[in-house]
Structure 1
Amino acid sequence: MAGEVLRALCLVAVFEGLFLFAAPRGWKRAAEQLLMLPDRHLRLVGAIVVAIGIVALWLARG
Structure 2
Amino acid sequence: MDDRWLQVLGLVLIIEALLPFVSPRGYRQAVQQIANTPDRALRAIAFVVLVVGAVLVMLSRH
The question of a shared fold, defined as TM-score above 0.5 by the shorter chain, is answered with yes
CA-based RMSD of the aligned residues comes to: 1.5
Higher helix share: 1
Q: Deviations over 1:2-39 (max 9, x none)?
A: 43323212211011112211121111111100111111
Inter-partner Cα distance in structure 2 for 1:22 and 1:44: 27
> Equivalent residues in 2 for 1:39-54 (5 A)?
39-54=39-54
CA distance in 2: counterparts of 1:25 and 1:2, whole angstroms: 36
Residue equivalent to 1:35: 35
Deviation beyond 4 Å, 4+ runs, structure 1:
none
Using structure 1 for the length normalisation, give the TM-score.
Answer: 0.82
* Superposition TM-score, scaled by structure 2 size: 0.82
Which whole-Å CA distance do the structure 2 matches of 1:19 and 1:61 have between them? Answer: 29
Instruction: List gaps (5 residues or longer) in structure 2.
Output: none
